[in-house]
């Protein structure tokens, strides 16, 4: 198996399932209502919805950085606000998360082994480090979502 294939496998396990650590991000979000997602169940912590927007934002940011674009990450880009807390808006947020992740995955799948060790212009990290970092980022926030869901019960 190539290193690109291994990274894609890790991206898939973190998001879609069959991770050895427990539930993947998609499974954790399944069945969560807009009201639950918007709730700040732990003082000082982000809501599930804010975390979903943040994870989707970083899929987009890393995708752009993989392509060599320098992205100045603003606070609103890093943590996109939740404007409307309806079920329709929540469904859109989940669709956006899935779409941003699928676009990132498609771009990562086009990389060859030599691309992984390259550091795109204006970046501090190689594509290899960025992609592994994104998997770690997704799992970190999946753990937060799991805790927030428990706090809602």
Which domains does the chain carry?
3-152 (1.20.120.450)
Give the pLDDT band of residue 21 (cuts 50, 70, 90): confident
Query: What is the predicted pLDDT for the residue at 147?
Result: 95
Query: What is the predicted pLDDT for the residue at 1?
Result: 84
Query: What is the predicted pLDDT for the residue at 20?
Result: 80
Per residue in 83-141, pLDDT tens?
Answer: 999 999 999 999 999 999 999 999 999 999 999 999 988 888 999 999 999 999 999 99
Query: What is the predicted pLDDT for the residue at 18?
Result: 83
Structure tokens at 16: 């879609």
DSSP the chain: --HHHHHHHHHHHHHTS--TTS--HHHHHTT--HHHHH---STTSPPHHHHHHHHHHHHHHHHHHHTT------HHHHS------SHHHHHHHHHHHHHHHHHHHHHHHT--HHHHT---TT-SS-HHHHHHHHHHHHHHHHHHHHHHHHHH-
- 109, HSE (Cβ side, Cα atoms, 13 Å): 10
Query: What is the predicted pLDDT for the residue at 3?
Result: 95
**In the predicted model, is pLDDT for residue 150 greater than 90?**
yes
What is the mean predicted confidence (pLDDT) over 11-37? 92
**In the predicted model, is pLDDT for residue 35 greater than 90?**
yes
What is the mean predicted confidence (pLDDT) over 15-29? 89
**In the predicted model, is pLDDT for residue 17 greater than 90?**
no
Residue 83 neighbours by CB under 8 Å, 6+ apart: 89
């Amino acid at each position: 198996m190539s290193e690109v294939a291994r990274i894609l496998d890790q991206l898939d396990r973190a998001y879609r399932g069959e991770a050895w650590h427990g539930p993947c991000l998609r499974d954790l979000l399944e069945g969560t209502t807009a009201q639950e997602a918007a709730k700040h169940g732990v003082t000082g912590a982000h809501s599930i919805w804010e975390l979903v927007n943040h994870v989707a934002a970083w899929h987009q940011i890393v995708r752009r950085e993989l392509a060599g674009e320098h992205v100045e990450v603003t606070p609103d880009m890093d943590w996109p606000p939740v404007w409307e807390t309806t079920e329709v808006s929540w469904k859109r947020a989940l669709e956006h998360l899935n779409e941003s992740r699928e676009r990132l995955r498609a771009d990562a799948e086009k990389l060859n082994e030599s691309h992984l060790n390259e550091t795109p212009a204006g970046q501090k990290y190689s594509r290899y480090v960025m992609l592994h970092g994104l998997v770690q980022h997704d799992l970190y926030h999946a753990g937060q979502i799991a805790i927030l869901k428990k706090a809602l019960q």
